[in-house]
Amino acid sequence: MRIETHGQQIDVTPALHEYVQSKLARLERHFDQPIDARVILGVEKTDQRAECTVNFAGRTLHADASGVDVYAAIDLLADKLDRLLGKHKEKLVDHHRGESPARSGDFA
């Protein structure tokens, strides 16, 4: 997984970069394909914001979150991305591929 971390009106310290890496590492469990993520951390008045664009297999997902500090915003962002990737994975799975008389040809 390749993660780019950028800051708007905020300096991205190595500690912040490592925190983003550790939180977004759990996204790899959803797909075996390579995932690219671009994270933008910023300040908007009194809120700290984190937004991310994830690219994988020709798809693009976007999520953003805000919190009282940057670490809380990153936590919320990771949770949102985890749910989005889970929903996307569910859409890819065909739930109608079970046993049925129509598929086996047994019409009695």
Cα–Cα distance measured from residue 40 to residue 66, given in angstroms and rounded to the nearest whole number: 12
Task: Convert 24-69 into a string of H (helix), E (strand) and C (coil).
Answer: HHHHHHCCCCCCEEEEEEEEECCEEEEEEEEEECCEEEEEEEEECC
Q: What is the pLDDT of residues 34-55, one digit of tens each?
A: 889 999 999 988 899 999 999 9
Beta bridge partners of 67: 48
pLDDT in tens, the chain (108 residues): 899 999 998 999 999 999 999 999 888 888 778 889 999 999 988 899 999 999 988 889 999 999 999 999 999 999 999 999 888 888 777 666 656 555 566 555
* Structural contact between residues 73 and 48, judged by C-beta atoms closer than 8 angstroms: yes
Domains, the chain: 2-93 (3.30.160.100)
